[in-house]
Amino acid sequence: MSLGGERVVLALETAFPSVSVALQIGDRIRQPAPLPSRARASDLHPALEQCLASEGLRTTEIDLILVDKGPGSYTGLRIGLSVARTLAMLHDIPIRTLYSTDILAWMGRDLAEADQEFLVALDARRIHWTLARYRGGPQGLTRCGRPEVLTKADFLKIADRASLVLSAEDQPPTKTRSVQLGIPNAVSLFELEWLSEADPAPLPLYLMPAT
């Protein structure tokens, strides 16, 4: 906790092509300035140092780490989760994790009909798609199951019957209405702390079947 008694939460988002970091100090949110539009995993350490220095904080004053554990870029996730685990181990900081699909579902929840199930899709490559189900609308969000990876054929059997499919930048191969929301920012993790899960030693979520 900061010297002023305010709760300090660190958020790390490294599942997507552009990574981001943010601090929440009490009611204030701090991000690196200028924020790179396509920051890479190698930018994570200097960005974190800049955020802390701008508030006169040290890593020992972080009370909680929120981090995206995937699915997503394995390299980015490996670096982001390594940073989270190292800080947690050195300073006894609790870690709570979210799925990358949680963040997209939260970003697009207002596009869904109230209490209606919708999907979040991510291109898993190798003719596979990651899919996660949510129920929501303007009043809130419910995760209906953990993300899973399906072949394109199995994905379409589900997606083509859905009311809405959300994604980051990829265009899902479905006839259903789909909306591309763009790459999430670490700031979104603060709003989703209530959906996060305690995970003292998180590892990147890798769902692709063995070949």
Kindly report the CATH number assigned to the domain that includes residue 79.
3.30.420.40
Q: Are residues 81 and 110 in the same domain?
A: no
163 in a structural domain: yes
51 in a structural domain: yes
**pLDDT > 80? residue 146:** yes
Q: Are residues 126 and 139 in the same domain?
A: yes
Query: Mean pLDDT, to the nearest integer, of 112-124?
Result: 90
Q: Are residues 95 and 106 in the same domain?
A: no
Q: Looking at residue 9, what DSSP letter applies?
A: E
Q: Name, in order, each residue with C-beta under 8 angstroms of 27's C-beta and a sequence gap of 6 or more.
A: none
Name the strand (E) or helix (H) holding 142.
Answer: strand 140-143
211 in a structural domain: no
Task: Record the tokens describing residue 68, joined without a space.
Answer: 């995206």
Q: Which residue has the higher pLDDT, 52 or 211?
A: 52
Q: Are residues 15 and 95 in the same domain?
A: yes
**pLDDT > 90? residue 137:** no
CATH number of residue 155's parent domain: 3.30.420.200
Q: Are residues 93 and 26 in the same domain?
A: yes
**pLDDT > 80? residue 117:** yes
Q: Are residues 94 and 106 in the same domain?
A: no
Task: Record the tokens describing residue 188, joined without a space.
Answer: 């979104």
Q: CB atoms < 10 A from the CB of 29, how many? A: 15
d(CA 26, CA 100): 25
Backbone angles phi, psi at 2, to 5 degrees: -65, 165
**pLDDT > 90? residue 96:** yes
Q: Are residues 113 and 44 in the same domain?
A: no
Residue 173: closest CA among 147, 158, 151, 152: 152
35 in a structural domain: yes
Residue 210's pLDDT is 58
Query: Mean pLDDT, to the nearest integer, of 165-192?
Result: 94
146 in a structural domain: yes
Q: Are residues 93 and 110 in the same domain?
A: no
Q: Are residues 107 and 154 in the same domain?
A: yes
Instruction: Give 204's pLDDT tier (boundaries 50, 70, 90).
Output: very high
- The structural domain count of the chain equals 2
143 in a structural domain: yes
Q: Are residues 50 and 92 in the same domain?
A: yes
Residue 38's pLDDT is 56
**pLDDT > 80? residue 75:** yes
Query: Mean pLDDT, to the nearest integer, of 179-197?
Result: 95
d(CA 159, CA 191): 27
**pLDDT > 60? residue 152:** yes
| Residue with the two structure tokens 């300090």 | 8
Give the structural domain span for 142.
Answer: 101-180
134 in a structural domain: yes
Task: Record the tokens describing residue 24, joined without a space.
Answer: 């929440």
Name the strand (E) or helix (H) holding 78.
Answer: helix 74-91
Q: Are residues 114 and 144 in the same domain?
A: yes
Query: Mean pLDDT, to the nearest integer, of 32-61?
Result: 80
Task: Record the tokens describing residue 196, joined without a space.
Answer: 């996060």
Q: Are residues 95 and 188 in the same domain?
A: yes
Whole-angstrom CA distances from 209 to 151, 167, 203 are 10, 21, 17
109 in a structural domain: yes
